[in-house]
Structure 1
Amino acid sequence: MARPNYIELPAADIEAAKRFYTDVFGWDMTSFGPSYAATTTGDVDVGLQGDTAEATRAPLPVIEVDDLEATLATVVAAGATIVRPIFAFPGGRRFHFLDPNGNELAAVVAAHG
């Protein structure tokens, strides 16, 4: 079953963002390189994207799915615009799309193992 499992926030100042979320909510932020950090609770996690070339303009809801290619086909058939085709990253594979109202979302299949 598809479910939201991640929210990615743009964070031009990654260090300030990490301090803020740690100070305010007590979140343990794990760094994944110089421009990315995330909580790793295994529930609905939050990522901070500090690479301005990679960051979306608004928070990015990420929906975990069982079959990425089937979800891509369904999203396209429903009339969504694909803004980032399937790509791999350290946590798995995903793609980004715009819903009918122009909201950017991502579908992901997590890496296992």
Structure 2
Amino acid sequence: MSTTQGIKTVLHPVTDLAAAKSVYTALLGFPPQTDESYYVGYEAGSQHVGLVPGGGQGMASPIAYWEVPDIEAKLAEVTAAGATVKEPVRDVGGGRLVATFTDPDGNVLGVLQDR
């Protein structure tokens, strides 16, 4: 069984990226490290906070991403335990792999692996 390094990334779906960026910049007290039309990201301590315009890939609410050393192994473990893969592993750039799954109650959880 592989372990996680905890929740390191939380992505928030937003309808107005500029308005959300203003609020999160005020909340965190510094500008984003990534500021693109398709994604705004902040590094706050050891956590990454991301804003995804248009709700991202069907995001209805924020998704917490658990950092894991082997994303494929972790997905196999959680599906064997009763989870259902929502979005399979995909590379989102910079060597980062992400995937989402639902628990038995339909809550969406994410896992990520940095190569």
Report the more deviating stretch, 47-56 or 94-103.
47-56
**2:28 touches 2:44 (CA, 8 Å); kept in 1?**
no
Which of the numbers 87, 107, 113 marks the counterpart of 1:84? 87
Q: Residue 36 of structure 2 aligns to a residue in which SS? A: coil
Segments of structure 2 that go 5 or more residues without pairing to the other structure are: none
Q: Distance in 2 between matches of 1:65 and 1:26?
A: 29
Where structure 1 has 5 or more consecutive residues not aligned to the other structure, the ranges are none
SS in 1 for 2:43: coil
Deviation readout 1:2-54 (Å, 9 max, x if unpaired): 11101100011111000011123314213353121011246112100014352
Q: 3-state DSSP class of the match of 1:66?
A: coil
Q: How many residues matched?
A: 111
Distance 2:103 2:35 in 1: 29
- When the two chains are superposed, the root-mean-square deviation of aligned CA atoms in Å is 1.7
Residue in structure 2 matching 1:65, options 59, 64, 68: 68
Give every structure 1 segment of 4 or more consecutive aligned residues whose post-TM-superposition deviation is greater than 4 Å. none
Percent identity (aligned) = 32
Provide the secondary structure at the position in 2 that maps to 1:40: strand
TM-score normalised by length of structure 2: 0.86
Q: Which residue of 1 aligns with 2:40?
A: 37
Which of 17, 20, 28 is residue 17 of structure 1 equivalent to? 20
Query: 3-state DSSP class of the match of 1:10?
Result: strand
TM-score by length of 1: 0.88
